[in-house]
C-alpha cells in the first residue's frame, strides 16, 4: 500500500470504525492503571519539596492537565487544517469529539493552578499574569468551538467555521508556551520537558511522567470511544452502518440474558 492510499484509507470513517474496536478499552485500561499508580506514588510516596512542603504535590495534577490542554488544542488545529484543505470527514468528526475533553483538562489546569497559587504565591488568581491569561484564553477558545458548532444549524457550515477557529486559535499555543520567557510573570518557568534534564530528582519526576502518559491514554480512550459513536451517528444512512447495527441486534437476540456479549 502506498502513502496516498494509506492517507485516503485513514480518512474513511468506515475503516476507522472497523479498526478501532478494541482500542478504546485498551487505552482506558492502560489509563486507569497508570493514573492510579502515578497519583498514589506522587501523593503518598514521592518526597515533599524543601520549600513548599506538601502543596508541591498539586504538580501531579496541574502539569499533566496543563500539558494536555495545549496538546489537545494542537491536534484540533491540525484536524481543522486537514478538514479545510482536504475536506476529510473524519477530521471534522475528530475536531468535534476532542473539544469536551480539552475543555475539561484546561479548566482543571486553571483550577489546580489556583489552588496551588494560594499557599505558594499568596493569591488564587493574579490578573495580568501572561501565563494565566493565555490559559484562560485557551479555555474560552474551547468554549467557542463548542458553542460555534451548536450555533450553526447547517453541519457543513458549522464544520468549516469550527475548523477555521481551531486553526486560527493555534496562534495562542506558542504564546502560552513562551509567556514565561517573553515577559515578567509570577508563574515559574518550564518545569517538565522530555528534551531537557529535569528540574527535580527522579523520585519526584517519575510519578509525574507516569501521570502524563496516563492522561494521554485517558484522552485517547475518550476520543476513540466518542469518535466511534460519532461515526455511527453521521453515517447512519449508509449500508455498512445498517449492517453493523443488524449484526449487533442479531447477536443480542441470540444471547438474550447474556449481557454485554457485543460490548
User: Which residues of the chain form contacts with other proteins (CB under 8 A)?
Assistant: 47-52, 56, 59, 81, 84-86, 119-123, 126, 128-130, 164, 167-168, 170-171, 175, 182-186, 188-191, 199-201, 203-204
Beta carbons within 10 angstroms of residue 238's beta carbon = 13
- Whether 219 and 23 have beta carbons less than 8 Å apart is answered as no
- Specify burial of residue 163 (Cβ count, 10 A radius: 0-12, 13-18, 19+): buried
Question: What letter would DSSP give residue 49?
Answer: B
Query: Within its chain, how far is the Cα of 146 from the centroid?
Result: 14
What end-to-end distance do the CA atoms of the chain give, in Å? 32
Question: What letter would DSSP give residue 53?
Answer: B
Shortest Cβ 160–other proteins spacing (Å): 11
Distance CA 141, CA 144 (A): 5
- Whether 113 and 191 have beta carbons less than 8 Å apart is answered as no
Helix, strand, or coil (residue 59): helix
Distance CA 95, CA 79 (A): 6
Give the position of cell 473524519. 90
Cβ partners under 8 Å of residue 188, min gap 6: 180
What does the block give as the cell for 217? 491514554
By beta-carbon proximity to other proteins, the closer residue of 71 and 120 is: 120
- Whether 115 and 58 have beta carbons less than 8 Å apart is answered as yes
Distance CA 72, CA 165 (A): 14
Amino acid at each position: 500500500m502506498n502513502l496516498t492510499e494509506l492517507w485516503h484509507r485513514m480518512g474513511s470513517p468506515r475503516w476507522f470504525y472497523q479498526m478501532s474496536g478494541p482500542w478504546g478499552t485498551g487505552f482506558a485500561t492502560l489509563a486507569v492503571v497508570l493514573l492510579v499508580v502515578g497519583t498514589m506514588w506522587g501523593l503518598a510516596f514521592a518526597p515533599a519539596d524543601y520549600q513548599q512542603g506538601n502543596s508541591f504535590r498539586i504538580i501531579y495534577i496541574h502539569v499533566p492537565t496543563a500539558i494536555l490542554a495545549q496538546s489537545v488544542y494542537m491536534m484540533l488545529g491540525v484536524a481543522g487544517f486537514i478538514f479545510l484543505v482536504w475536506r476529510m470527514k473524519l477530521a471534522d468528526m475528530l475536531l468535534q469529539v476532542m473539544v469536551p475533553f480539552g475543555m475539561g483538562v484546561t479548566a482543571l489546569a486553571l483550577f489546580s493552578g489556583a489552588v496551588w497559587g494560594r499557599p505558594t504565591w499568596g493569591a488564587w488568581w493574579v490578573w495580568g499574569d501572561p501565563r494565566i491569561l493565555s490559559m484562560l484564553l485557551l479555555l474560552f477558545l474551547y468554549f467557542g468551538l463548542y458553542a460555534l458548532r451548536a450555533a450553526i444549524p447547517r453541519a457543513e457550515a458549522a464544520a468549516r467555521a469550527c475548523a477555521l477557529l481551531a486553526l486560527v486559535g493555534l496562534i495562542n499555543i506558542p504564546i502560552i508556551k513562551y509567556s514565561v520567557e517573553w515577559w515578567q510573570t509570577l508563574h515559574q518557568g518550564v518545569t517538565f520537558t522530555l528534551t531537557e534534564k529535569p528540574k527535580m530528582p527522579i523520585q519526584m519526576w517519575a510519578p509525574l511522567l507516569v501521570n502524563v502518559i496516563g492522561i494521554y491514554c485517558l484522552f485517547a480512550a475518550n476520543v476513540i470511544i466518542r469518535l466511534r459513536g460519532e461515526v455511527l451517528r453521521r453515517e447512519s444512512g449508509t449500508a455498512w452502518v445498517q449492517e453493523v447495527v443488524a449484526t449487533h441486534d442479531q447477536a443480542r437476540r441470540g444471547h438474550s440474558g447474556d449481557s454485554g456479549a457485543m460490548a
